Structure 1
Amino acid sequence: MGRIDVFVAPRPNPALINVMTIVNRIVMLRGVPGFRDFLLFNRLAGLRGVANVRHIDFPAADQQRLQACCGAGQATFITPNHPEFFTDWMIDKEVVSRVSPLAASWATHGVVNGLGRPMQKFWLANNLIAQIPGNNEAAKAHSVDWALQSHGVLLHPEGGVGWHGNFVGPLLPGAVEMGLEALQRGREMNKEFKAWVAPVVWKLAFTGNVEPALARECAYVEKSLKIEGAAGGSPSERVYRIYSTLLSRDEQACGLTAEEGAPYAVRQQSVLAELGRQLAAAIAAGPGLDMAELLRHSRRWLREGKADADEQKRVRKLTETIQRIQRVGPWAFADQTITQEETAEHLKRIRNDYCKGTLRDTINRFIPQPAGPRCAHIRVPEPLGLHAYGGSIDEALVVLRSRMQEAVTGIVAELQAGGGFISYPNPFYHR
């Protein structure tokens, strides 16, 4: 295996972690006071805050609830939602700096291991745990060992970024599994030992009207993807036309013709059904599989290398196309209105999934730039005490996801009541 696929245990450096906490707070999040609000200076990411999160709304009661789960005699697995890339680690780092400064954080192996040895050393010193796809046993073992030393371990239970800040996706079981293992080992030494899965959610909201910036980003995407005639209208209308055009290209590739005026959701399901049929035939999957099961079968089929290179390439492309189309989920069709924040998320998802080949696009995938200044609203739902829980792992995931979604919905309702969102009619809406 290459270095990128080999797990190396973190070597946390407390002094470096403390310095990076300050750098994160000023350079990455809030910006440099005295520069961030002036023209020209506020266009420089390092002065205005790379993630442009000017304000952090983290009530003392929520912070205390999380802090109570951390410390001696307990193992804590902190599980934030995952609505945005890059900003995720910056906000997560701010959270753990307040409750468990030496917490370890899971990150993709492409970041920890894939940027050369000097950067790998830097990330390991910052206590990042490399997630190795298909080979996470070493990372899990290290995480349990670290949690048993009364330091937190942070990982995103949703897995990859979905760019849907109002919706919590299905959760993966890793945090609960590691928490139960830590509980078992901890109880061997201390019968009163406790293990927690502590969910955290955050919602980003613009502090003002960012429509001009959204319009500029729409124009860039339209030009990059050669989508003509999409200019004009609100940003949400332009985003819809972009996605509709991209779906039309998928329809043409499948040999499908959409009924005139058909809703996006209906067209999407037709394309997914046809792609699913083609994928099932290619891997000789049994009948009656739902899409999630079919994708699992296809990934296993690819790992086992059951066909020649051309057929593997075809199956890989079908799998990736299905996953890409699915990233516009049912949450996109649920509400009659769409906020500027949700419109911005659509744009970032499009740029991540479709805009490739230039340095600008590559930088955007790693460090996406927001359309304007924002406030991060952070809440801590009720932690799940595994030491007092008798249900199954699947039941625990249902409980955690419910608590996280309720907290996100609560933030959104609170902001809406205070007039904190600018909204448009939602072109994706489908009854």
Structure 2
Amino acid sequence: MSKIDVFVAPRPNPVLIRAMTSVNRIVMLRGIPGFRDILPFNRLAGLRGVANVRHIDLPDADLERLRASCGAGKATFITPNHPEFFTDWMIDKEIVSQVSPLTASWATNGVVNGLGGMMQKFWLANNLIAQIPGNSGAAKEHSVAWALKGHGVLLHPEGGVGWHADVVAPLLPGAVEMGLEALRRGRATDPHFKVWIAPVIWKLAFTGNVEAALAKECAYVEKSLKIERQATDTLPQRIHHVYSTLLTRDEAACGVRSDEGATHAERRKALVTELGRRLGESISADTASTDTAELLRRARRWQRENTGDAEGQKHVRALADTIQRLQRVGSWASANPRITQEEIAEHLKRIRNDYCRGGLRDTINRFIPQPAGPRCAHIRVPEALGLHEYAGSIDDAVAELHRRMQQTTTGTVAEVEAQGSFIFYPNPFYRH
């Protein structure tokens, strides 16, 4: 087994964690006042703030609500939304430093185990838990044991980053499942033991007009993907044209005829349906009674059970990967007649992550994506879900957690909009 797929328990170092909290606050988030706005210093990510989050908007009431769910005598699983890569851990670390500094955080095994022995030791000392795809038992066991000690465990219930901050994706049940196991063990010695699932959401908003920087990044994407710019297109129209061209290429690669009269959403849905049919045939699954999420789960299981079929593995993996990539632009993209600069930025990062894979610049961007300008992180804390007083099923608990997160996200976006913090454009994805 590759070292990247071997779970090694974290060995948290409190001194290092405290030191990295300050480094994170200054170097990764806010930057250094006096340097972050002056050329040439503001071109250096460490002086400007790598994630360029200048302001943290976290009301005292929300912070106290999260604190009340954490601490000794209870087990707490903190579940933030997951709108952006790299910035996720920086903001999450800032939050937990104020409520439960020794919180253990789940991260992909590619980060914890895949960057060499020295970096593995560093991440384990920072209390990161490596998620091993298809083999998460050891990580879950460690998480439950750590939570029972009164320390938080943080994991993103959406799974991977979707780059859509206004919409909470369907949630995975891991946090609830671990919470129920912690409740069972805790109640074995204390009949009043409590377990909390504590959701957190954050929404990033630019502090000014960043259209020039977004247009520059869009030009890079167009050049990298060899997509000709339409001279009269607005910035959102250029994004739409990039996606339309990429979809046409995907259709051609799959031998599917493109319906030029259909909307982007209709074409994407038709292609996903056809690829799903082919995937179902490849793994002997009935697609008529299986939704796409379940089909992808069966495809992963098929791959685990058929490791000796090299050609089949390659074919199934290619179909599943294409379906997942196409689904990353969901119905939310065409839901509203207006689009914000923040949503344009998300589209660009998603395109670069999914399609731009030519060189070092794109590799660095996938790990440390750079924002188009300074931002404010609006952080809110929905009401925690107490599993010790919840009588519903796991699915019910996950659905309730999603409802609270989406309701708070929608309310926060409306609050920021009312403050005049967004710049809007007509949305070319929108169709009546």
- Quick one: distance in 2 between partners of 1:180 and 1:280? 34
- Quick one: distance in 2 between partners of 1:236 and 1:315? 34
- Quick one: distance in 2 between partners of 1:161 and 1:418? 27
Residue number in structure 1 paired with 2:292: 291
Paired residue total: 431
Give the CA deviation at 1:265.
Answer: 0.7
- Quick one: distance in 1 between partners of 2:266 and 2:212? 31
Amino acid across the alignment from 1:16: L
Give the CA deviation at 1:230.
Answer: 4.1
Matches of residues 381-400 of structure 1 in structure 2 within 5 Å? Answer: 381-400=382-401
Residue number in structure 2 paired with 1:139: 139
Question: Are 2:277 and 2:287, in contact at CA under 8 Å, matched by a contact in 1?
Answer: no
SS of structure 1 residue aligned to 2:95: helix
TM-score (norm 1): 0.98
- CA deviations over 1:256-304 (Å, ceiling 9, x no partner): 3333332111111111122112212222222522222221221111111
Amino acid across the alignment from 1:154: L
Question: Are 1:222 and 1:230, in contact at CA under 8 Å, matched by a contact in 2?
Answer: no
Give the CA deviation at 1:183.
Answer: 1.1
Residue number in structure 1 paired with 2:41: 41
SS of structure 2 residue aligned to 1:10: coil
- Quick one: distance in 2 between partners of 1:101 and 1:232? 52
- Quick one: distance in 1 between partners of 2:295 and 2:180? 30
Question: Are 2:229 and 2:238, in contact at CA under 8 Å, matched by a contact in 1?
Answer: no
Question: Are 1:219 and 1:231, in contact at CA under 8 Å, matched by a contact in 2?
Answer: no
Amino acid across the alignment from 2:390: Y
Question: Are 1:265 and 1:430, in contact at CA under 8 Å, matched by a contact in 2?
Answer: no
CA 1:77–1:226: 2 relative to 1, 3 Å: same
Give the CA deviation at 1:17.
Answer: 0.2
Residue number in structure 2 paired with 1:268: 268
Residue number in structure 1 paired with 2:159: 159
Give the CA deviation at 1:229.
Answer: 2.9
- CA deviations over 1:234-274 (Å, ceiling 9, x no partner): 22111110000000111212333333332111111111122
Residue number in structure 2 paired with 1:300: 301
Residue number in structure 1 paired with 2:15: 15
CA 1:355–1:287: 2 relative to 1, 3 Å: closer
Q: Please say if 1:420 is aligned against 2:421.
A: yes
Residue number in structure 2 paired with 1:72: 72
CA 1:231–1:204: 2 relative to 1, 3 Å: farther
Amino acid across the alignment from 2:337: Q
Matches of residues 313-332 of structure 1 in structure 2 within 5 Å? Answer: 313-332=314-333
Q: Identity of counterpart residues, as a percentage?
A: 72
Residue number in structure 2 paired with 1:96: 96
- CA deviations over 1:182-212 (Å, ceiling 9, x no partner): 1111112222211000000000000000000
Gaps of 5+ in 1: none
SS of structure 1 residue aligned to 2:98: helix
Residue number in structure 2 paired with 1:177: 177
- Quick one: distance in 2 between partners of 1:309 and 1:231? 46
SS of structure 1 residue aligned to 2:97: helix
Give the CA deviation at 1:311.
Answer: 2.7
Amino acid across the alignment from 1:104: A
Question: Are 1:7 and 1:138, in contact at CA under 8 Å, matched by a contact in 2?
Answer: yes
Q: Please say if 1:198 is aligned against 2:198.
A: yes
Q: Please say if 1:186 is aligned against 2:186.
A: yes
- Quick one: distance in 2 between partners of 1:213 and 1:294? 40
CA 1:263–1:287: 2 relative to 1, 3 Å: closer
Gaps of 5+ in 2: none
Moved more, 45-54 or 289-298: 289-298
Residue number in structure 2 paired with 1:411: 412
Give the CA deviation at 1:369.
Answer: 0.2
SS of structure 2 residue aligned to 1:98: coil
- CA deviations over 1:377-427 (Å, ceiling 9, x no partner): 000000001111111110001111000001110111011112110011111
- CA deviations over 1:338-378 (Å, ceiling 9, x no partner): 10000100100000000003000000000000000000000
Residue number in structure 1 paired with 2:344: 343
- Quick one: distance in 2 between partners of 1:40 and 1:191? 61
- Quick one: distance in 2 between partners of 1:293 and 1:120? 33
Give the CA deviation at 1:73.
Answer: 1.0
Amino acid across the alignment from 1:392: S
- Quick one: distance in 2 between partners of 1:424 and 1:257? 31
- CA deviations over 1:41-70 (Å, ceiling 9, x no partner): 111100000000000000000000000011
- Quick one: distance in 1 between partners of 2:126 and 2:232? 46
Residue number in structure 2 paired with 1:55: 55
CA 1:277–1:40: 2 relative to 1, 3 Å: same
SS of structure 2 residue aligned to 1:99: coil
- Quick one: distance in 1 between partners of 2:160 and 2:139? 17
CA 1:270–1:193: 2 relative to 1, 3 Å: same
Question: Are 2:287 and 2:295, in contact at CA under 8 Å, matched by a contact in 1?
Answer: no
TM-score (norm 2): 0.98
Residue number in structure 2 paired with 1:224: 224
Amino acid across the alignment from 2:171: L
Amino acid across the alignment from 2:349: K
- Quick one: distance in 1 between partners of 2:330 and 2:17? 37
Amino acid across the alignment from 1:112: V
Question: Are 1:195 and 1:385, in contact at CA under 8 Å, matched by a contact in 2?
Answer: yes
Question: Are 1:232 and 1:238, in contact at CA under 8 Å, matched by a contact in 2?
Answer: no
- CA deviations over 1:150-181 (Å, ceiling 9, x no partner): 00000000000000000000111111111111
SS of structure 2 residue aligned to 1:107: strand
Residue number in structure 2 paired with 1:148: 148
- CA deviations over 1:302-358 (Å, ceiling 9, x no partner): 111276322321221111011100100111111111100001001000000000030
